[in-house]
Structure 1
Amino acid sequence: MKRKLALGAVLSASALLAGVIQVSAGVAHAAPAPDATARALGLSGPEGLVAKNTVVDADGTRHLRYERTFAGLPVLGGDLIIHQDAKGAVKSTDRAVPGSIAPASLSPKLTAAQAAATATAAVRATVGVSDGDGPALVSVDRPGTAQLVVWAATGTPRLAYRTTVEGIRADGTPSSMLVVTDAGGGEVLSTHEQVQTSNATGSGKGVFVGSVTLTTNWTGSTYELKDNTRGGQYTVSLKNRQSGQGTLFTDADNVWGDGTAANNQSAAVDAQFGAGATWDFYKYAFGRLGIRGDGVGAVSRVHYGKNYVNAFWSDACFCMTYGDGASNRNPLTALDVSGHEMSHGVTSNTAGLNYSGESGGLNEATSDIFGTGVEWYADLPADTPDYLIGELIDINGDGTPLRYMDKPSKDGRSADSWSSGVGNLDVHYSSGVANHFFYLLAEGSGAKTVNGVSYNSPTSNGATVTGIGRDKALQVWYRALTVYMTSTTNYAGARTATLKAATDLYGAGSAESAAVAAAWSAVNVN
């Protein structure tokens, strides 16, 4: 059976009320008091703001990201960004949902216990049924506890409960289902799997990265696969278990792996190198120190489960996890998998793009875009940089990549361009629109060979697009993500966000700004 690489993330509910994580070339900045900001925006009395992060430009311009509350309750879909000049005057705002977020009532008709039971029952009803995005759920191990919230992401704002129900899927993937139910009648308003998996096959020598140099830690008696120069990130073995903190890799001679999957250190070399390459990419490309921008390195866990053909990122444990693949001989530790998955953590800690509809496609595309950026940054002889996703792990079994950025439809499922129904596609296929946009912005349209790989990128409007180069395209996407996109940004909103970003970076009327507009029009986002 053909399986897809559903590269994804665990988007923890706690991220909706994250503390202040402020990034500007790795320097923290104090955000204005949320209460004062709420008053300045003219928000109603019951409305409040919770600071999430701040981006400060070189000229002092500030972009303040907040989550919103109503009567002390978290508002799902209430996030907003305030753009201030260097003197603190508000220039503009971007809101995930325009208009009022006030629910008709703040008095729930259901108790939290009833809401949790409803949510748990809804998840139990899916046991044994595939949702089209990975193996079927086989058990519900931990019924959730319901938290009262305001649901404003879609439709009329209403009082609701948010419940996380945990379980296990047939292939051993942990399930963490976020269910939002109406507090009046128990109607299920939203469900999504927070663990988004990669069904993929996936000095040291890794299975995919080849011979590389690793920064390790000497304890005085042994070497540890731990990098204190990159936030203390380290790699552990789960020894084919599906839980626990794992065992830190140690070695007597500081020579790790032999390039074969049979050597349990080889996958660890891939994982540790991938984490380091991702750290360096974000640091040197954007001045971002680590996934959260706080200088803290993530944990990489290898040898998860048995015959587990998946990999996933989790905000909850701030960790990256890899299975060993079919017959425990094909680890999923390729570099673009590492960069893709850990980039979900960056998205979670910035725009927080909802993992459904068009925003879900943008979430997935963001990880493809930055995962590709990591691959080009590392520039490994063993992994030629390209615009193909999952080309080394051979999940299809015929040597073809999982996804193609130049013409996404070559995988048989992804969208090359926007249409009114694209938001109904699985997010890994609706991501094709943004992936195609990025390729066109970076490299342009038509047939060409880049770094030894042949591409032929069409345009929906028949126009010729001239690229601005990969580095500039990455800068545009990163600024749009961290400064202008919100949790509900759709493709039209992404066009607006990237145009603003290009204007900020390269000037109004610049060739770069014109190329952004042309590339979006070429994928029918006008």
Structure 2
Amino acid sequence: MKKRTSLVLVLGLTVGAVLPMSATVAAEKAPYDVTASNPTKQFGKDAKVNWKKGQAVPSFVHGMLSAKAHKDQHAIKQFLKDNKELYQLDADKDLTLLEVQKDELGSTHYDFVQSVQGIPVDGAKFKVHTDKDGIVTAVNGDVFPEASSYFKGKLKANVSKNDALETAWKSIDLTKEETETNAVDPTGKEVEDTVEKAELVIFKNRNNFHLAYKTNLQFIQPYPANWVVYVDAVNGNILDSYNAVADGATTGSGYGVIGDYKTLNTYYQNSTYYLYDVTKPMNGVIETRTAANQSRLPGNYSVDSDNKFNAVSQGADVDAHYYAGVVYDYYKNTFNRNSFDGNGATLRSTVHYGRNYNNAFWNGSQMVYGDGDGVTFRPLSGSLDVIAHELTHAVTEYTAGLEYQNQSGALNESISDTFGVFLDKGDYLIGEDVYTPNKSGDALRSLSNPSLYGQPEHMNNYVNTTSDNGGVHTNSGIPNKAAYLTISKLGTSVSEKIYYRALTVYLAPRSNFSDARAALLAAAADLYGTGSTQYNTVASAWSSVGVY
């Protein structure tokens, strides 16, 4: 019998249980000796510093960190060499520059990844930020200096990439063939809807480091999944795994799920109108498809003969298409971000997924919406904040890359909820338009009152659990409350700028709540100045939820 993964009735995510870890194969080593100098002594008493328990390097340092300008990557590497006592890394050997970006404030951001013998350390992103004058103002990320000396001799994989992928499939009790749906597009061309990837990385598991393959298995049947499975590249053991599915021209018209009239950007071809929008300045398109109540992706295009999508059964199609355009326009007009990847990628939605399916999710490449069972949910594409939530998961994937477990996963959820509120201004409820259609006044979550829906809103009530990838849907209530306190004081237009800058500039894959506070404060300082009303409001909001 094949494994079945239960689906949790929460916004935008189906949650797979984490598989048991195998015994570690590397010899146990003591935690790295933390002997770094005091950053406040090194950079001055005004430097603001975050540490994570057990890590030898601060995860976030913010302030005026250099006395002279650093105008290029060579100067930045010299800065790191000058501060080697603190960061404990060889800037030439241990750090690989991924990207240099200059933003609208004139700040420059240098993104590095830590590597060992040229192999990236999983999750070890390291960022150095300078202001318009080249003064270093922040250094953040998660690096592990002990990784460089952990391995003796040259690293060599005894397991091939193909064997690692086979092991990953076996670990979830499925084969690739069992997940393929053989879907075709309107031209009859087969669409590949199962994706498998494998990358050689250095993986930190407790106090041990492993040469491992980080594999991704993305599929839609027999359940939606974006499995991340770490396979030891030396002996083939499974080191860790989790399901990272993140909860997802002509002018026509139609009526949405709740009967509201909408104009639609459509496409005419061969006497048929498609929900296919080519009007946006993007490389791809905004397209909407239907699974016709089957469990297959991407499904067939949503079409109509007279460009009037007025049938009740088309309401989910209308809303998915229209709201995807609203979210695209929001990111483009507010932040000049062209689609979720910043490069104009296609926004694809599939509606009518499954039968009585009470969920919506982003599967790593597109949005998927069920019709609900009419009791717990009506069609989930009928809510703007649901669609904003799903597409923000995609933005997060292409920016901060917040790992979907524990505090970083709860932040991932909270960021999606928060941007849902930014788009649905003045409404701090999530999913109320589609949740329990026969019962008024309730919702999935509330940013203003998380406890109303069973979420903690202070660190005193943080839930330690192994379920739901470490409680990502539960503990998101804490950063959600901080977001509410920020938005209610500063308003949407100020708050969204702070949050977007923190997400795209400062947050990193393994950022925790404390890092989020630091990232938002750094963003507020960049935009409005340290000690400004905006800066102090953010600080107060996070202090109010017990994150200092």
Which TM-score bucket, shorter chain as reference? 0.7 to 0.9
1:164, 1:178 within 8 Å by CA — same for their partners in 2? yes
SS in 2 for 1:481: helix
Q: Tell me the CA shift for residue 66 of structure 1.
A: 4.1
Letter in 2 for 1:431: S
Name the structure 1 match of 2:487.
Answer: 442
Contact 2:11 2:444 in 1 (8 A): no
**SS state at 2:344 partner:** coil
> How far has the Cα of 1:153 moved from its partner?
7.6
- Please state if 1:345 is matched with 2:394: yes
- In the TM superposition, residue 283 of structure 1 has moved relative to its aligned partner by 2.0
In the alignment, does 2:531 pair up with 1:509? yes
Q: 1 CA distance for matches of 2:258 and 2:503?
A: 30
Q: Which amino acid counterpart does residue 444 of structure 2 have in structure 1?
A: L
Preserved CA contact (<8 Å) 1:3 1:395:
no
Corresponding residue number in structure 2 for 1:17? none
Supply the distance in 1 between the matched residues of 2:373 and 2:310 (Cα, whole angstroms).
20
How much has 1:143 moved relative to structure 2?
11
> In 1, Cα distance between the equivalents of 2:406 and 2:372?
29
* Runs of 5+ unmatched residues, structure 2: 1-5, 16-70, 82-89, 181-193
1:267 equivalent to 2:311? Answer no
User: How far does the alpha carbon of each residue in 1:262-294 deviate from its partner, in whole angstroms, 9 at most, with x for none?
Assistant: x2x211110011101111221222222211112
1:426 aligns with 2:426: no
Aligned with 1:62 (options 105, 108, 111) = 108
Name the SS of the counterpart of 2:287 in structure 1: strand
Q: In 2, are the aligned partners of 1:177 and 1:191 still within 8 Å (CA)?
A: yes
Larger radius of gyration: 2
Alignment partner, residue 45 of structure 2: none
| Residue 33 to residue 472, structure 1, CA distance change in 2 (3 Å) | closer
In 2: Cα distance, 1:215 partner to 1:41 partner? 51
1:304 and 2:353 are equivalent in the alignment: yes
Alignment of 1:63-102 (within 5 A): 63-86=109-132, 90-102=136-148
Matching of residues 147-296 of structure 1 within 5 Å: 147-152=199-204, 155-165=207-217, 172-184=222-234, 186=236, 188-197=238-247, 203-208=253-258, 210-219=260-269, 221-230=271-280, 231=282, 232-258=285-311, 260=312, 263=313, 265-296=314-345
Q: How many residues align?
A: 448
Q: For the residues of structure 2 that align with 1:303 and 1:428, how far apart are their CA atoms?
A: 24
- Bigger Cα displacement from structure 2, 103-112 vs 340-349: 103-112
Counterparts in 2 of 1:327 and 1:35: CA distance versus 1, 3 Å? farther
Question: 1:150, CA displacement in angstroms?
Answer: 0.8
Partner of 1:497: 519
Residue 387 of structure 1 pairs with residue 437 of structure 2 = no
TM-score by length of structure 1 reads 0.75
> How much has 1:67 moved relative to structure 2?
4.0
Does structure 2 conserve the Cα–Cα contact (< 8 Å) formed by 1:233 and 1:297? yes
Q: Distance in 1 between matches of 2:168 and 2:237?
A: 9
How many Å apart are 1:122 and its aligned residue? 3.4
Residue equivalent to 1:322: 369
CA distance in 2, matches of 1:291, 1:144: 21
Does residue 7 (structure 1) correspond to residue 54 (structure 2)? The answer is no
Q: Do the aligned partners of 1:416 and 1:432 also contact (CA within 8 Å) in 2?
A: yes
* Cα separation, 2, equivalents of 1:64 and 1:481: 15
Unaligned residue ranges in structure 1 (runs of 5+): 11-31, 128-138, 377-384, 444-466
Letter in 2 for 1:288: R
- 1:411 is aligned to 2:463: no
> Retained in 2: the 8 A contact 1:417–1:433?
yes
Q: Assess, with a 3 A threshold, how the Cα gap between structure 1 residues 375 and 165 changes in structure 2: closer, same or farther.
A: same
1:476 is aligned to: 498
How high is the sequence identity, in percent, across the aligned residues? 34
